[in-house]
Structure 1
């Protein structure tokens, strides 16, 4: 059966963000892989995301109110299975709603730090899953089920890996000690609808800080459960002390310098005093008594063996990640001022890369190209330098130069999703559909739930004549951007084209995926 005309139109490859039919939600790949004018796509205001976040939490929790009258039906207790289900459902929606970073160089680094912290927390009741949110607030939060989210603002603000690990250790302690769940359980005489309001308010406050979103969270709690629950919006002093105690233990057991934990809190306080705007470190608004906790932590650390305090971090990869975040997420003029103020004698190859990315954002292309060429002259075999130069030449339409660099980057780092993504798009433009599909499938394996990767893979397969595969992946693109109506349209087209048993099995898998997403939103 021929591909329908509207599908063919969507299959048309275009340079830039997603082509026709691309969904307006700006997610992890949308900026890293597609849009040329920013690392994370069209970055929304930090507070523009919170109505969607509120809706996401309510979509996860409110449906339970219709199925269960109140928490007494749990016997007053939430099981680990309940926590996993709650966390999984929330994670699915937040990934569809938020600017999630999809650059595997960044996310793999964060996952490595998280995994190292977890080694100091065994046994951990959950399999911990990390994600990075493209947001300039100094923030991080974890939710039941072992899901932890790190904001790029936090990564950019720390001086050492131990400081980043300190926040991660503290947040995972809130999960392992079941602080949020314990508060839900204490409300066992309250309906789950009210509990949904409480948790939505809590997470809105975590993400929103002291500004409009934090106030909205407070109002939500007051409206749903009254003043008695307002105290549950923030972690209690007892919760914080336990999270500090347990987190510090895991930080030390993981081999980090314990001074990292109070060090991060001190950075947050410094930012608080110098920034009275609504974008102050929101972490402080939901984690009370920071100054007292710093004193407590320093007292504990003072009694530790001296060898613990002499531990040194290898911050090399952190610095490289920070270059990417500063260059692509900070306001372009602010980022350029950073590199203008730095002596060129102190530049690393990655500094030239960061400067080049920033100049490209400012449309100063000749200067940007000079910066990338300088970086290549200093580090022609650095996979990240080569990748970023290749992406620059892709965006500026210099395909011949781009393809060689991206091929080299992909050979040096076969798991670099961004290098493979841009290489695949160049190959598709050159009508090399077999190679393009192979590489985009690899990207899909690395970031399996990204809508734009599925979108481009669908376009490539459609261009190559694989109408079934094209419609299948366009359906997945719609699922992961939460456009379930459109997903069902592509599902039907793929179903009509399915002939082999393998294809029919893939249709069943897609049907189950759509059903699961629909269940979350009921």
Structure 2
């Protein structure tokens, strides 16, 4: 489980013709100008890895770009905070990561709350996924192929290698542009356009010419990653074909993923040909993928009523044992439609078939909380945690049930357990501040608010909160010393920023 601990998850409007052209042009240029398409399928040798020993941009500079990008995403991009979805994504990356030729395996995973197909990889080992990717990837093999492709880009440091061909561009000056492109893609608003306008544009022609080799390299390495990790590499061309079908259906408004990851038939054919060279293996999807997919299908339903109708049609006359994911989706849709009693009934039937499945147990606790039965939900989660120590979704739900049951101090303890595992999930710090407030731990409230402000890039607010906490903490205690140390770090960061 060492690799699991190295992962950190931090889980449209219309526009004028000019803005739409501007956004699409720059999105195609750069989020993944890392990720543009090869001109044609060839058997040329893979490019050598460039710049890894210290070229124009260092790994430390990439990390700084990543921190800036993450701060902007936290402030502006809608994200999925669902612990069940985050836990699945983490488990997927955990399965792939040992097969990735990546020196630093500390990743930050970002879940964007959008029904569009999209994924991206940016400096600082950040991998982002739209919720919509689950909707369009019909199998776990297809979903895994996109993640493997993004990890391949990171492993080859394509961003750094691309900048080394653009020697007139200062690496940190690129952070604003990368941020703007990401925000334009994921928010579909003008938030990102201002960031792009304030930075130096790169040469479109040079960028695309250089990145074609990178995209081909990522396809090939991604196939190797999949095969080595026990996935079926044929999932990659299958996913590409799904994207091309969607592109044809949407006509002149292609999926966002294809504006930054353009596909050609030659690329699909090349990937299919390469995938067929791997041994044929029968790789079964895990049920968990389809449960999470159903959960998001309910989440993205046009209305709660439509979500219920969709899953009622899919489950009509079908025993639970034959289509558990669809029945689970119906339970989630019932919850979204404020019918928790029906959700509870369906979930108990699912648990009768698989008593230990964590996803069913956590969702049943959601249904019980919706019926104001916090004590029952709390008991259910305590029992589940006893069988699955340190499980993140169970611990997260326990924090909710304890708080709902009036046990704020216990809720605070579970949230601190999660924060030790995922210190960059800013929503946990907000919830901790709420729990500490209810537990009347004022020092803890200020401390949690300070950490939240740091993650949001608001160092002034963090400084104020830490001063408040330090004033209220007993001098000479470990808490006082810890606060003083953190205050000193923030003060130094503020002074550096003001220089």
Q: Give the TM-score of the pair, scaled to structure 2.
A: 0.77
CA distance 1:259–1:518, change in 2 (3 Å): farther
1:356-505 to 2 correspondence within 5 Å?
356-499=331-474, 500-505=476-481
Report deviation, 1:468. Answer: 1.9
Q: Aligned equivalents of 1:338 and 1:412: distance in 2?
A: 34
CA distance 1:417–1:184, change in 2 (3 Å): same
Q: Find the partner of 1:273 among 248, 251, 267.
A: 248
1:145-184 to 2 correspondence within 5 Å?
145-184=124-163
1:16-35 to 2 correspondence within 5 Å?
none
Q: Aligned equivalents of 1:341 and 1:420: distance in 2?
A: 34
Cα distance per residue 1:202-245 (max 9 Å; x no partner) = 5457657xx7779959x94798447x336637973322222212
Q: Aligned equivalents of 1:389 and 1:437: distance in 2?
A: 22
CA distance 1:482–1:383, change in 2 (3 Å): same
SS in 2 for 1:448: coil
Cα distance per residue 1:410-435 (max 9 Å; x no partner) = 33333344433443344345443443
1:121-132 to 2 correspondence within 5 Å?
121-122=100-101, 124=103, 127-132=106-111
Q: Find the partner of 2:98 among 119, 126, 143.
A: 119
Q: Find the partner of 2:313 among 341, 351, 357.
A: 341
Q: Find the partner of 2:256 among 282, 285, 289.
A: 282
CA distance 1:159–1:520, change in 2 (3 Å): farther
Report deviation, 1:248. Answer: 1.9
Q: Aligned equivalents of 1:401 and 1:270: distance in 2?
A: 47
Which has the larger displacement, 246-255 or 92-101?
92-101
* Residue number in structure 1 paired with 2:6: none
CA distance 1:204–1:295, change in 2 (3 Å): farther
Say whether the 8 Å CA contact 2:463–2:491 is kept in structure 1.
no
CA distance 1:194–1:432, change in 2 (3 Å): closer
Q: Aligned equivalents of 2:443 and 2:484: distance in 1?
A: 14
Q: Find the partner of 1:133 among 109, 112, 122.
A: 112
CA distance 1:317–1:368, change in 2 (3 Å): closer
* Residue number in structure 1 paired with 2:266: 292
Q: Aligned equivalents of 2:313 and 2:237: distance in 1?
A: 29
- The gaps in structure 1 that reach 5 residues or longer are 1-26, 30-43, 55-73
Q: Please tell me whether residue 510 in structure 1 is matched to residue 486 in structure 2.
A: yes
CA distance 1:253–1:382, change in 2 (3 Å): closer
* Residue number in structure 1 paired with 2:227: 252
Q: Please tell me whether residue 326 in structure 1 is matched to residue 297 in structure 2.
A: yes
Q: Aligned equivalents of 1:364 and 1:277: distance in 2?
A: 39
Q: Find the partner of 2:65 among 86, 93, 101.
A: 86
SS in 2 for 1:170: helix
Say whether the 8 Å CA contact 1:102–1:447 is kept in structure 2.
no
CA distance 1:176–1:101, change in 2 (3 Å): same
Say whether the 8 Å CA contact 1:459–1:470 is kept in structure 2.
yes
* Residue number in structure 2 paired with 1:315: 286
CA distance 1:237–1:430, change in 2 (3 Å): closer
Q: Across the two proteins, how many residue pairs are aligned to each other? A: 453
CA distance 1:417–1:98, change in 2 (3 Å): farther
Say whether the 8 Å CA contact 2:76–2:191 is kept in structure 1.
no
SS in 2 for 1:345: coil
* Residue number in structure 1 paired with 2:45: none
CA distance 1:344–1:477, change in 2 (3 Å): farther
Q: Aligned equivalents of 1:121 and 1:193: distance in 2?
A: 26
Q: Aligned equivalents of 1:492 and 1:411: distance in 2?
A: 39
* Residue number in structure 2 paired with 1:61: none
Report deviation, 1:192. Answer: 5.8
Say whether the 8 Å CA contact 2:149–2:219 is kept in structure 1.
yes
Q: Aligned equivalents of 1:160 and 1:362: distance in 2?
A: 27
* Residue number in structure 2 paired with 1:352: 327
Report deviation, 1:141. Answer: 0.7
1:25-64 to 2 correspondence within 5 Å?
none
- The gaps in structure 2 that reach 5 residues or longer are 1-8, 16-21, 27-52
Q: Please tell me whether residue 238 in structure 1 is matched to residue 213 in structure 2.
A: yes
- Superposition CA RMSD, Å: 3.9
SS in 2 for 1:272: helix
Q: Please tell me whether residue 188 in structure 1 is matched to residue 167 in structure 2.
A: yes
Report deviation, 1:389. Answer: 1.2
Q: Aligned equivalents of 1:239 and 1:221: distance in 2?
A: 26
CA distance 1:140–1:428, change in 2 (3 Å): closer
Say whether the 8 Å CA contact 1:174–1:239 is kept in structure 2.
yes
Say whether the 8 Å CA contact 2:173–2:199 is kept in structure 1.
no
Cα distance per residue 1:461-511 (max 9 Å; x no partner) = 344343322322232234334454443332222110122341123213532
Q: Aligned equivalents of 2:125 and 2:493: distance in 1?
A: 20
Report deviation, 1:318. Answer: 0.9
Q: Give the TM-score of the pair, scaled to structure 1.
A: 0.74
Report deviation, 1:138. Answer: 1.0
Say whether the 8 Å CA contact 1:251–1:257 is kept in structure 2.
yes
Report deviation, 1:287. Answer: 1.9
Q: Aligned equivalents of 2:473 and 2:74: distance in 1?
A: 30
SS in 2 for 1:309: coil
Which has the larger displacement, 402-411 or 166-175?
402-411
